Amino acid sequence: MRLAQRRGAKRAKVALARKLVGILHRMWVSESDFRSGAPAAAMEG
């Protein structure tokens, strides 16, 4: 929300999309499953 206020809604949407793509790519490469409710640090291993 802070990014949307500072830079605009379009840039905030792109930033969020890029972040999700990075997470999904990492899951794809490591062949890991989605773990609902898992802390973000647990998914970085």
CA distances, 5 to each of 8, 15, 44 (Å): 6, 13, 29
Tell me the pLDDT band of 17, cut-offs 50, 70 and 90: very high
The chain-wide mean pLDDT, for the chain, equals: 76
Q: Is the pLDDT of residue 25 over 70?
A: yes
Q: What is the pLDDT averaged over residues 2-10?
A: 74
